[in-house]
Structure 1
Amino acid sequence: MNNRLNRNSEIPLYQQIEQIIKEKIVKGEWPAGTKIPSQRKLADIFRVNRSTVTAAIDELTASGLLEGKRGGGTKVTNHTWKSLSAVRPLDWTSYVRSGIHRPNSTTIQEINRQEFNEGMIRLGTGELSPELLPYRQMKEVLAGAEAEKLSLGYEEPKGNRYVREAVAEHLKRKGVNTSPDSILIVSGALQALQLIAIGLLKRKSAVLTERPSYLYSLHVFQSMEMRLFGIPVDESGLDPAFIPACKKQYGADLLYTIPSFHNPTGRQMSEDRRKELIRISKAYSLPIIEDDAYGDLWLDGPPPPPLKAFDQDGSILYVGTLSKTVSPGLRIGWVAGPEPVIERLADIKMQTDYGSSSLSQWAAAKWLAGGLYEQHLATIRKKLKIRRDAALRSLKAHCQAIATWEKPSGGFYIWVTFHKPLPLNTLFERALKKNVLINPGTLYDKEAKQSIRLSYSYASISDLEKGIRTVAELARELM
C-alpha cells in the first residue's frame, strides 16, 4: 500500500490513505468484519506519522466504513453495506477463525512481513544470503535443459526416478543406504513434516522433540491437535535418558530431532549420543523423524553419520532438503523411510499438490548427480565460516558482559542467552524500529525468555556487526 502514496501530490497524505483503505473495503479485499491493522502498524506501512493515520481513520469512521471498539481494534463495519445491498454481507472473518490450521504467532507473522523490507538487517533469517546463492551455476544447469530430455508434465507419485536415484547416491555418501523406491521427493522439508502429520499420526498424538526446537515455531503438528513435549538438550544434543519417563507419562508416539547443527541452538549431537538414541527408541518402539537440513553445512569438520546410517529396522524417517544449501526457491527436499510409509506419504502428496515441480526436480538431480553440489558446498562452507567467525567476534566485542553463547561447528545459528531477564517482545519491537530483525527465543521455547536465535547466514558481515551492536545496546537498556 505504501507504493501508492504520492508524496508530491497536493492531496494531503491522510486523504490518500483514506482513499486507499476505502478502495480495499469497496473492492471486498477488506470485507465487513475485517480487523484492520493497528494505527501504529499502518503508520509503519505507510511510513507516516501516526497522527496522519489517525486523521484518515477518523474520516473513515465518520463515514460509517469503520468502527472501533475498546480492546477489539478497528473493524470494517456492516453499516455501510445496508445502503448498497439488501443481502447481509458474507462474514469471511468467521471462516478465517474456523480454519483447522492454527495461524502463526503474531511475532512470526511480523518477521515474515519485515524480511522483505529493504534496509532491514536480518539477524534471524534461516537462509543463505543472496550473495551466497549459486546464480551462475544454476543458470548453467537450466541452460543445459535444452540438450536433454526434460519433462514438463506431472511426475510419478514418489517423484522423478532420476532425482530419486541421485538422492540415493547422495545419501550413500553420508552412510545412509537406501533405494530410490524408499525415497519421496517433496517441496521442501516443511512439506515432509506436513505429510507425516496428516498421514501417519492420529489426533492428540504425543510428539517428543528438543527443547528449544524449531518445531515449536511451527503449527504443523499443533493444528492436528498433537501435543509437543520437550526433552532437555546439553552440549552433546538431545538427552535420550529422558525418553523412558516421557514415554511412560505421555505415551509418546514419535520423536522429532535435528541432530546436526540444531535449530535454534546450533548444537551437534555426539556419535555416542546418536547410538544411544537409536538404542532407546528401538527398545520403546518410538519412531524418529530425523531432520538433516543442516548436516552438509559443517564448518570445522564433518558431523557424525546421520541417525539413519545406524538404522537397521526402518524406524527412522530421514528428511533432507536443498533449501539450506543450494536455493530456498528450488523447493526440493526428500524423505527416506520404509516403502509402505513412503507410499502412504506419496499418495497424500498426490492428493494435495500432484507432485513437486518437474523442472525443480530435474535441476536438483543435475546438482546432485554431476558433482556440482559438492563443489558448491566447499565454497559455501568457507564463506559461512567467515561469517560465523565475524559474528562471534562481534558478540565478544559487544555482548561478552551481558550474554553467553556457544561456538557452533556448522549450520546457521548461534543461541545467545542474556545474563538477566529482559522483555523479549520489547527488544524485538525496539530493534525493529532500528531496522534490525531478530528471532526471540520464545518462538522455540516459551520459557526461553532470555534468549535469541542469531543467524550469520544472511546478513552481510558489516550488517552482522552493526546489528549485533544495536541489539546489545538495546538489551543493556532493557536489563
Structure 2
Amino acid sequence: MFKIDWKPDRNDSTQLHIQIMRYMKDKMASGEWPVDFKLPSQRTLSEIFGVNRSTVVTAIEELTAEGLLKGNTGGGTRVINNTWTLMSTEHSHNWNPYISSGVHQANQRIMQQINDAEFQSDMIRMGSCEPSPELIPSKMIHKTLEKLSKSMKPLGYEEPKGALHLRKEICVYLKTMGIEADPDSVLITSGVLQALQLISLGLLHTNSVVYLEKPSYLYSLRTFQSFGLQLSGIQLDEEGIDVNELISRHKRRKGSMLFSIPTFQNPSGNVMSLKRRKMLINACDLEQLPIIEDDVYRELWLDEKPPPPLKAFDKNGLVLYTGGISKNLCPGLRIGWVVGTEKVIERLADIKMQTDYGSSSLSQNVTAELFSSGLYYQHNDIMRKNVRIRRDVTIRALKKYFTGMATWNIPAGGYFIWLKLNGGISMHELFIKALSRKILVFPGHLYEFQSNDHIRISYSYVSLEEIEIAIKALSELVAEQLG
C-alpha cells in the first residue's frame, strides 16, 4: 500500500520543489520506488506534500529532465532509472527489484530518521529508551571480563537454548518474582525483539491476528507486519488492558495471541493492576488465547515494586514470558530470554539455530557471572536511584513549561512520560522543527494511528541539564502550533 509520511520543511531555506526532488531521489535510491514504479497523480502529491500543484510539476519536470522519471499520456508518471545507474560510469547490477520485494518491510521514513538522529553526537535524545552511557556500569563489566579471562573456557558455540549456567541463573532470578521455571523451558535470545521475531516465525502464520495494547510501541516497528501478521489494538485504562473489549474482539476475530507490556507499558508507562492481571489470565485461559508478556522494564520500578508478572499466575503454560538486560543494564550485551513450555522453547531454539547459531558466548558468560556474583542485583538498586532523579527533574521541567498546554502521567517506573497536549498539532512539523534544534522526540502517531496530541518523553538517555533545555524548547514549538 502506497504511503508517504513526509512533508517539505517550509522553515528550510531550500526551495520546496528541491526538497521534494531530494525526497523522491531518496525513495528511488533506497529501492522503495523501483524502476516502473508509478507515482500518484500530481494533485494527490500536492495534497500529500501540502504544496501547490505547480511545485510538484516543477519537481517532476526536473527529475524527468535528469532521466529519472517519464510521463506517459494516460499512464501517469513512472520511475525509469535510479541514482545508482546515473552516478556510476560502469554497469552496475540493479538491486532495486530485490530490495523492494524482500520479505521484511522497510521502517517508516520517520523511524529511519530517528535511527539516524540517535547517532548524532550533538542531539538531545528525549525519545530514546535506553540507559545513557553514564548509567551503564562499565567498570563493573570490565572487572567481570577480567575475572572471566582467567577462568573462562574457549568461546565456542553454546547449546541451542543458550548457555546452561546462564539459564540456571535466570531461573533463580525468575523465582524471586514468583515464576517457577526449569532451565529447559528458557531460551537465551539476542534481546526481546529477537524473541518476538522467533515467535512470529515459529508459532504464527500469515494473516494471524495479534492483539496488543493501544497505544503500543509495536506500531512503530515492522516486526509482526513483515511476517504477514495483523495487529488489532485494545484500549488501555488506568488499570491496564480492557479485558472485556479484548474478549469481545476475540470472539469476533479469533486472534492468535495477545502481546502485552503489563509493567511500565511503552509508551504510556501504565502498570496493570494485580486485579486486572488475574482477570486477564483467567479470561485468556478460558478462551485459550496465549499471551506474549514483555517484562523488560520490571527492574526500573521507582516508587514501589510492581505486581508479579502475568507468568507468575500462569498455571497452564499460556504465557510466553520475555525479559532482558538491555534496558536496565547494558544494551550492547544483547541478552534476553523467553520462558515457555519446553515444546515451544525447543521450536524457537531450533529456529534461532537456523538464523544465528546462538547468542554471543561472551555476552552469555558475562551475564551469568553478573547474576551469580550478585552484582546484577546491586546494580539495579543504583540504577533505580539514578533514573528516579531523572524522572523527577523531567516532571519539574514539565510543570514549569507545559502547565496549561498539556497533561501527563507521573510514571511509577520505566523510562517514559506520555504527554497529552490540550489540542491537536502537526506531529510531523513538531518532529522536524525539534530536529532542527537538535532535539529528538517520538511523536504520538508512532504508537497510535493518527494520534496528533501525544508525545512520548523519555528521560533515560539525556543528562539532567539537557532535560531542562529540551523541555523548554519543546514547549515553545508546541505553543507556536497551539497558538
For the residues of structure 2 that align with 1:156 and 1:183, how far apart are their CA atoms? 12
Q: Among 236, 241, 247, which residue is 1:238 paired with? A: 241
* Equivalence map 1:54-203=2 (5 Å): 67=68, 75-76=82-83, 78=85, 84=90, 89-203=92-206
CA contact (8 A) 1:68 1:75 kept: no
TM-aligned CA deviation for residue 373 of structure 1: 0.7
Instruction: Say whether residues 1:374 and 2:381 are aligned partners.
Output: no
TM-aligned CA deviation for residue 448 of structure 1: 1.9
- Range with greater deviation from structure 2 (238-247 or 339-348): 238-247
For the residues of structure 1 that align with 2:300 and 2:264, how far apart are their CA atoms? 8
TM-score, normalised by the number of residues in structure 2: 0.84
Match of 1:284 in 2: 287
TM-aligned CA deviation for residue 146 of structure 1: 2.1
- Range with greater deviation from structure 2 (244-253 or 377-386): 244-253
Q: Deviations over 1:251-309 (max 9, x none)?
A: 11100000000000011000000000000000100000000000111000100000000
Superposed CA RMSD in Å reads: 2.3
For the residues of structure 2 that align with 1:301 and 1:72, how far apart are their CA atoms? 59
Q: Deviations over 1:50-95 (max 9, x none)?
A: xxxxxxxx9xx99x987467998994274676x745xxx4221111
TM-aligned CA deviation for residue 141 of structure 1: 0.5
Percent identical pairs in the alignment equals: 45
For the residues of structure 2 that align with 1:369 and 1:445, how far apart are their CA atoms? 41
The one-letter code sitting in structure 2 at the alignment partner of 1:76 is T
- Range with greater deviation from structure 2 (140-149 or 342-351): 140-149
For the residues of structure 2 that align with 1:477 and 1:176, how far apart are their CA atoms? 50
Quick one: structure 1 residues 436 and 84, their matched pair in 2 at CA, closer, same or farther if it must change by over 3 Å?
Answer: closer
Match of 1:384 in 2: 387
CA contact (8 A) 1:151 1:359 kept: no
Which blocks of at least 5 consecutive residues in structure 2 are unaligned? 1-28, 36-58, 72-76
CA contact (8 A) 1:65 1:80 kept: no
Match of 1:351 in 2: 354
Q: Which aligned segments of 4 or more residues in structure 1 are displaced greater than 6 angstroms?
A: 68-74
The one-letter code sitting in structure 2 at the alignment partner of 1:204 is N
Instruction: Say whether residues 1:253 and 2:256 are aligned partners.
Output: yes
Question: SS in structure 2 opposite 1:329?
Answer: helix
Which blocks of at least 5 consecutive residues in structure 1 are unaligned? 1-28, 36-57
CA contact (8 A) 1:402 1:476 kept: yes
Instruction: Say whether residues 1:406 and 2:406 are aligned partners.
Output: no
TM-aligned CA deviation for residue 462 of structure 1: 0.9
CA contact (8 A) 1:66 1:77 kept: no
TM-aligned CA deviation for residue 215 of structure 1: 1.3
Match of 2:301 in 1: 298
Quick one: structure 1 residues 69 and 265, their matched pair in 2 at CA, closer, same or farther if it must change by over 3 Å?
Answer: farther
Question: SS in structure 2 opposite 1:296?
Answer: helix
For the residues of structure 1 that align with 2:30 and 2:248, how far apart are their CA atoms? 50
Q: Among 316, 319, 323, which residue is 1:320 paired with? A: 323
For the residues of structure 1 that align with 2:86 and 2:460, how far apart are their CA atoms? 50
Question: SS in structure 2 opposite 1:104?
Answer: coil
CA contact (8 A) 2:200 2:227 kept: yes
CA contact (8 A) 1:290 1:316 kept: yes
For the residues of structure 2 that align with 1:203 and 1:268, how far apart are their CA atoms? 31
Instruction: Say whether residues 1:446 and 2:453 are aligned partners.
Output: no
For the residues of structure 2 that align with 1:149 and 1:95, how far apart are their CA atoms? 43
Instruction: Say whether residues 1:268 and 2:275 are aligned partners.
Output: no
For the residues of structure 2 that align with 1:77 and 1:146, how far apart are their CA atoms? 47
TM-score, normalised by the number of residues in structure 1: 0.84
TM-aligned CA deviation for residue 149 of structure 1: 2.9
For the residues of structure 1 that align with 2:453 and 2:259, how far apart are their CA atoms? 24
TM-aligned CA deviation for residue 147 of structure 1: 2.3
Quick one: structure 1 residues 377 and 251, their matched pair in 2 at CA, closer, same or farther if it must change by over 3 Å?
Answer: same
Instruction: Say whether residues 1:472 and 2:475 are aligned partners.
Output: yes
The one-letter code sitting in structure 1 at the alignment partner of 2:285 is K
Match of 1:18 in 2: none
Quick one: structure 1 residues 468 and 343, their matched pair in 2 at CA, closer, same or farther if it must change by over 3 Å?
Answer: same
Quick one: structure 1 residues 455 and 402, their matched pair in 2 at CA, closer, same or farther if it must change by over 3 Å?
Answer: same
Quick one: structure 1 residues 310 and 122, their matched pair in 2 at CA, closer, same or farther if it must change by over 3 Å?
Answer: same
Q: Deviations over 1:328-350 (max 9, x none)?
A: 00000000000000000000000
